[in-house]
A = this chain, B = another copy of it.
């Protein structure tokens, strides 16, 4: 078993003056201090970072050694799986611990995006699509394709998407680290307007996650180290499923890769949906969150909307989703996102999520996704000591 014993998390947003290295150092130092781990005790470092041309730092792993000189000669490795690069780092560190190669792992996720014009960010993220067939396609256009296919099969879900956006914006009000603190009414989100323009029909500005700078970090440890710690969150399951990269080889009305990741995570953990208290899932676009409800089995295919209408995924609902504000309002520094989700759920299950706290939460889920259901990571986290 592998355990999270501490975490760090920068503010997400436009962080002028902080580059990739600065963000890594801030989140990493905070996580080590929070865990009560001296830098010299770290056996290995795993870093999630997408880049895709957004920064010239093409070899960031050793930047983590700037956290402390005692980290010199510590193995450090960058992982990339598009917007799931953060979870890729978590999973690689977990393997190293389970392999006995590390007792204490520092996991980092980082991205620097806001220094670029939106056009350049879109082009960089577009590199996560299948170039042979989808070159030049932006991610809003990719997910608009999913939304159109979904709407065609199940009817127009504009209002459901608006309810997701409004929910996540409302949730972010309780998260001081979130990029945006602005409530958006459902009606505003459901309506095309000057302030909420169509980006790629049927997706409007309010359906898209943010362009963000930020970093997050967790300290992962082996059983014997966790035992001595005041706080520990167990990874009850961690399952990764990759699907075909080309959209042409996938069903755009169902997230088959995500569905398989959820299935495996439930199987491996023995946990059912009914056991979960909170979930942080990958709402890069509102349509993604809607389809994730169905992929995880919270709603039957085509029925995700009912969860919103019944309040099931709202704060204090059956399974509150994205109490942090999600990628939609917390922000989405892509390489940091997967690690951030692990931090947020760890805070929930240890009762330290402050204003975001879901009463009595002790078991939570992370679902982090690279591309449009291509790299899929599901983690089940459970508090041991809080």
Contacts and interface: CB of A to CB of B under 8 A. Distances in A.
A355 interface: no
A63 interface: yes
B242 A74 contact: yes
Interface in A43-63: 44-45, 50-53, 55-59, 61-63
A78 B81 contact: yes
A39 B35 CA distance: 41
Interface residues of A, number: 59
Contact of A244 (B65, B78, B80, B135): B65
Interface in A236-250: 240-245
Contacts of A243: 62, 65, 72-73
A263 to B, nearest CB: 10
A82 interface: yes
A98 interface: yes
B58 A244 contact: no
Interface string A71-94: 011111111111000001001101
A124 B81 contact: no
Total identical chains: 2
Given A57-B131, A95-B96, A96-B95, A244 B75 contact: no
Contact of A79 (B57, B77, B127): B77
Interface string A7-43: 0000000000001010000000000000000000000
A88 B81 contact: no
Contacts of A241: 73-75
A11 to B, nearest CB: 22
A117 interface: no
A62 B375 contact: yes
Contacts of A240: 44, 75, 77
Contacts of A45: 242
Q: Interface majority SS on A: helix, strand, loop or mixed? A: mixed
Nearest to A260: B73
A128 B59 contact: yes
Contacts of A152: none
A370 B260 contact: no
A93 to B, nearest CB: 9
A81 to B, nearest CB: 6
A156 interface: no
Interface string A129-145: 10110010000000000
A285 to B, nearest CB: 17
Interface in A106-165: 124, 127-129, 131-132, 135
A128 B75 contact: no
Given A76-B242, A77-B81, A245-B65, A127 B92 contact: no
A235 to B, nearest CB: 12
A241 B72 CA distance: 8
27 contacts: A44-B240, A52-B59, A55-B131, A56-B127, A57-B131, A58-B127, A58-B128, A59-B81, A59-B370, A61-B80, A62-B244, A62-B245, A62-B374, A65-B243, A66-B244, A72-B244, A73-B243, A73-B257, A73-B260, A74-B241, A76-B242, A76-B375, A77-B81, A78-B79, A80-B80, A95-B101, A96-B99
* CB-based closest 9 A-B pairs: A58-B127, A98-B99, A75-B240, A59-B128, A52-B58, A62-B245, A59-B82, A95-B95, A76-B242
Interface of A: 19, 21, 44-45, 50-53, 55-59, 61-63, 65-66, 72-82, 88, 91-92, 94-101, 124, 127-129, 131-132, 135, 240-245, 257, 260, 370-371, 374-375
